[in-house]
Structure 1
Amino acid sequence: MDINGLVAQNYAAGKAAAAPTPDGGATALAGAAQDFLSTLQTSETTGLQAMTGGADPHALVQALAQTELAVQTVVTVRDKVVEAYQEILRMPI
């Protein structure tokens, strides 16, 4: 697998996700959630195939790394949302 192509593809996806949208980001958020779910489903499928001998170990490691990155991203976004909410609560009225 070409790592440079993968990096370029992820960069293009991130650049498109960071662009402002007229609907306030609802479409981007829904798309990100769908991408997260598809990453988890792909990882599960690859894991099951690896257990039954249908996938090579490299595919399993790659799927697990993508899943780990997706989970870390979701946790980071969640932490930022909680932090922003706490800052709003601290504002004087």
Structure 2
Amino acid sequence: MELQSTLASRAYAATPDATPSVAQAEGGFGALARETVATIQAGEQAAIGAMTGGVDAHAMVEALAATELAVETAVTLRDRVVEAYQEILRMPV
């Protein structure tokens, strides 16, 4: 019996974890956050360029549309996270 439990514990320890690690999850969310910030900064630069005459209006509209989409995505993600957190709080203990 002892041999079986030892073999089982070794097999369990050797299997890869099915859940992502915290570093992997942070990496994904971190990349998304960096991409969102870069999109917003590009939209701001395009707006500044359009005001100073360095960027045409079409490029500014495209950059602002991308910025709007990035902000809407961030807000939707935030809402989903808050909703999931509230659902966890409602769970019986």
AA matched with 1:58: H
Distance 1:56 1:21, change over 3 A: farther
Higher relative contact order (CA 8 A, sep 6+): 2
- Partner of 2:54, secondary structure, is coil
Q: What TM-score does the superposition give when structure 2 sets the normalisation length?
A: 0.75
Taking only aligned residues, the RMSD between alpha carbons, in angstroms, comes to 1.4
Q: Deviations over 1:39-64 (max 9, x none)?
A: 01111111100000010000000001
Q: What TM-score does the superposition give when structure 1 sets the normalisation length?
A: 0.75
Measure the CA separation in 2 of the matches of 1:50 and 1:24: 39
Q: Alignment identity in percent? A: 51
2:71 is matched with 71
Aligned-residue offset at 1:24: 4.0
Measure the CA separation in 2 of the matches of 1:58 and 1:46: 10
**Structure 1 stretch 66-75 or stretch 21-30: which is displaced more?**
21-30
The number of residues matched between the two structures is 74
Measure the CA separation in 1 of the matches of 2:42 and 2:78: 23
Task: Structure 1: state its 5+ residue gaps.
Answer: 1-19
Structure 1 runs (4+) deviating above 4 angstroms are none
Measure the CA separation in 1 of the matches of 2:89 and 2:25: 23
Structure index of larger Rg:
2
2:46 is matched with 46
2:29 is matched with 29
Measure the CA separation in 2 of the matches of 1:21 and 1:56: 44
